[in-house]
Amino acid sequence: KHIAQLGGCDGILNAMLSHKEVDCLQAMALGALKVISLDAVGQSTLILKGTGSIVADSMDRHPNNATIQSEGCAILCNLARNVDQSVRLVSEREIEAVINAILSNPNSSGVIEGACFALLCFASSNDNIGSIRNNPQIQRALELSFRNHPEAVGEYVQIILGRLRKITA
């Protein structure tokens, strides 16, 4: 059986909720959730349990921990993608967590790459464009990403900006 079907997600999420301030626990838990979020059974279980909000909360509580930020961005991206590779509607809170990851870690190429990839994923659905566009920090975050890491995320940033301009709210 799959770890998600055996209660593994509950154990991880409960540990995260019980020990919100413990960096190393949050980082390890996010690492485990990232692996679980890669397959359909794990992904659907995590979505049903409101994992996006829990991940965003962890990212908000530990803004300067690059591991938590990059793992969080990867999980939010994985949870946004459906099995058929379409992208579901993500919450403004999830979008804000990814944008804040950029603003809090402008010199971490791992965080910036993960965050820009997550934003690119979110922006591939017209349903998310309005929420991304309406975030007051999106322009600043994308400019900072492009300026500090043009080789790593320049193409992502250009595609995101193009999608934000193309689709009207």
The number of angstroms, rounded, from the C-alpha of 100 to the middle of its chain's C-alpha atoms is: 10
- Average pLDDT of span 119-144: 97
Task: Kindly give, in sequence order, each residue whose CB lies less than 8 Å from that of residue 34, ignoring residues fewer than 6 positions away.
Answer: 71, 74, 75, 78
Instruction: Please report which confidence band the pLDDT of residue 120 belongs to, taking 50, 70 and 90 as the band edges.
Output: very high
Global pTM value: 0.95
The per-residue pLDDT of the chain, averaged, comes to 95
Inform me whether the pLDDT recorded for 125 exceeds 50: yes
Inform me whether the pLDDT recorded for 86 exceeds 70: yes
> Do the Cβ atoms of 27 and 65 come closer than 8 Å?
yes
Instruction: Please report which confidence band the pLDDT of residue 168 belongs to, taking 50, 70 and 90 as the band edges.
Output: low
Inform me whether the pLDDT recorded for 147 exceeds 90: yes
- Average pLDDT of span 111-118: 98
Radius of gyration of the chain measured on its C-alpha atoms: 15
Helices (H) and strands (E) in the chain — how many of each?
10, 0
**Picking from 79-88, 120-129, 130-139, 143-152, which range would have the lowest pLDDT averaged per residue?**
79-88
Q: How far apart are CA 113 and CA 119, in angstroms?
A: 10
Query: Taking CA 134 as the corner, what is the angle to CA 128 and CA 135, rounded to the nearest 5 degrees?
Result: 95
Q: Which pLDDT score, from 0 to 100, does residue 85 have?
A: 85
| Residue pLDDT, tens place only, 41-52 | 999 999 999 999
Inform me whether the pLDDT recorded for 167 exceeds 50: yes
